[in-house]
A = this chain, B = another copy of it.
């Protein structure tokens, strides 16, 4: 059981029920989620002491977010309380050729307006084994970008391994702004997670694989990963590869490179997809667990991560409510879906 710290935003997610469109819905399902919160829940499910750090209002919507995390065993003691609002995102789940749709309403959230005084990062990082953040956190606001840097510095002071999921979000910042913030933060990062598109937009790398069209060329990634690793002195670079046949049907695999070996995971055919939101986060959560559990076997770590995230696509909500045993069972090859009695 490792101590794993994540830092970012948790939002109120309001989704139209079933495959209903937003304008048809008389109620919205309520869950909470956000990149780093989702990673924390994954890690808690695998048995770790997962510490999620953020800021949330004292009112009941803020409390609802805290409760959602506590329910799944996440350590919430370092969540600062205050501010006015919980960021919101609306989700409409697509089907077949109709894509899912996300509307963000997150400006002015408590974490976007948090101050350094809200967090004692040295206390938080003390004794931690891992610190994870994503490119969404510094994109939220300049204040959040500064907090991300402070968290990274504290992590390094305390000898904590740092991972970052690049995760470029065009609604939050431009590529120029992203690069100006993200590049300096790369010095703290040991494990970088991101596909070639994120690498280009956040770090200035040019993609060579044709991803837009859904084709995935693993060999192209070897060059990208090698380049990224050298440029930023990462220990490990990893990425998922999604083939989007439709909103209901995806192919899913992942790649990893540690400077020695370039490893490509098995591919999962996911059909039907129940909820693909949080798929990338569940990969990060699985990878952290995998690399902590099999430090000498990045292939095994990656297979855990990709199985975890394939499984996530079958589970409603942002959180990957799957146990270590369930992920291992799937990674071990049991994908027949036979009833477990």
Contact = CB atoms under 8 A, between A and B. Distances in A.
A71 to B, nearest CB: 4
B97 A268 contact: yes
Contact of A97 (B72, B108, B330): B330
Interface stretch (A57-65, A127-135, A138-146, A222-230): A57-65
Given A97-B310, A100-B340, A244-B338, A67 B23 contact: yes
Interface stretch (A11-19, A154-162, A177-185, A285-293): A11-19
Contact of A247 (B96, B102, B105, B337): B337
A321 B88 contact: no
Nearest to A91: B339
Nearest to A268: B97
Contacts of A85: 105, 107
Interface string A318-341: 000110001000100001111111
A240 interface: no
Interface in A94-125: 94-105, 107-108
Cβ-closest 5 pairs across A and B: A247-B337, A22-B60, A71-B71, A244-B336, A98-B314
Interface of A: 14, 17-30, 59-61, 63-64, 67-68, 70-73, 84-85, 88, 90, 92, 94-105, 107-108, 169-171, 214, 244-249, 268, 270-274, 276-277, 310-311, 313-317, 321-322, 326, 330, 335-341
19 contacts: A19-B316, A21-B316, A23-B60, A24-B321, A28-B28, A59-B103, A61-B90, A70-B73, A88-B88, A95-B272, A95-B314, A97-B335, A99-B337, A100-B339, A214-B336, A246-B335, A247-B338, A248-B271, A248-B272
Given A27-B27, A96-B313, 6 more contacts: A19-B315, A21-B316, A21-B321, A67-B71, A97-B270, A247-B314
